[in-house]
Amino acid sequence: MADTAALENSKKIQTLRTSPASLLWAAFEAGSVAGAVELREVPFLTMAGIRVDPGGDAGKRLGKRTGGLPAASGEVRSIGDTAALWLGPAEFLLVAPAESHDSLGGEIPRALTDALGDAEGQVVDLSANRTTLELSGPRARAVLEKGCALDLHPRVFTAGTALSTEIGGIPAILWKTAEETYRIFPRASFAEFLGRWLLDAMREFASTEVP
């Protein structure tokens, strides 16, 4: 009975959640330009920070849960809808759908903690630490190039690449999930500022015809 009551209370709490950029959803819709560039928030994704030696036994155990841990800068490894992004030689960010984070306290983070066991390393539930902004369309790269120092040319920044950078002066992780689609992971406290910066950078394309 206690577990059932806790589950019901947790579900009620989930319905009251407000995503970091929710105040801008209407602006995102109004500022998006069909056929050119579109912006939306993908709220409440499950995220876990992992620190572990990928070549050690613990790293291999965690890798089995994540589809493998990336071995090089920019690399992303995935299994189904779950992806592990390289942040450093022994640091990774796991990203999974929102439903992967159960209402009683983190299904995936808990599973990763169990896989780590007593070995040296760390697993931290970061689901509330960042949000996800998705920028897509033929002009998405041009928008990002206004405030991102990375070389985003498709010969260099290919689909499936993720790197830590700054966009509009805001620290973020940039993941190119498809040829014209980027996911941006700013810290929650910077989400509104970055969302407004992206909207401003998109304005010039409102009257531009895309070939």
The distance of Cα 195 from the centroid of its chain, to the nearest Å, equals: 14
| Per-residue pLDDT, 109 | 84
d(CA 127, CA 154): 30
| Per-residue pLDDT, 145 | 98
Instruction: Find out whether 79 and 174 touch, Cβ atoms under 8 Å.
Output: no
Q: What is the CA radius of gyration of the chain?
A: 18
Superfamily of domain 20-43+131-211: Probable tRNA modification gtpase trme; domain 1 (3.30.1360.120)
The list of the chain residues with pLDDT below 70 reads 1-16, 100-106, 207-211
| Per-residue pLDDT, 2 | 46
| Per-residue pLDDT, 105 | 47
d(CA 70, CA 45): 20
| Per-residue pLDDT, 211 | 45
Residue spans of the domains in the chain: they are 20-43+131-211, 45-128
d(CA 39, CA 206): 13
| Per-residue pLDDT, 102 | 56
| Region label for 117, one of left (φ > 0), alpha (ψ between -120 and 50) or beta (otherwise) | left
Rounded to the nearest 10 degrees, how much is the dihedral formed by the CA atoms of 182, 183, 184, 188? 160
Query: Which CATH code, of 1.10.3720.10, 3.40.50.720, 3.30.70.1520, 3.30.2320.50, is assigned to 45-128?
Result: 3.30.70.1520
pTM: 0.88
- Report phi then psi at 92, rounded to 5: -145, 155
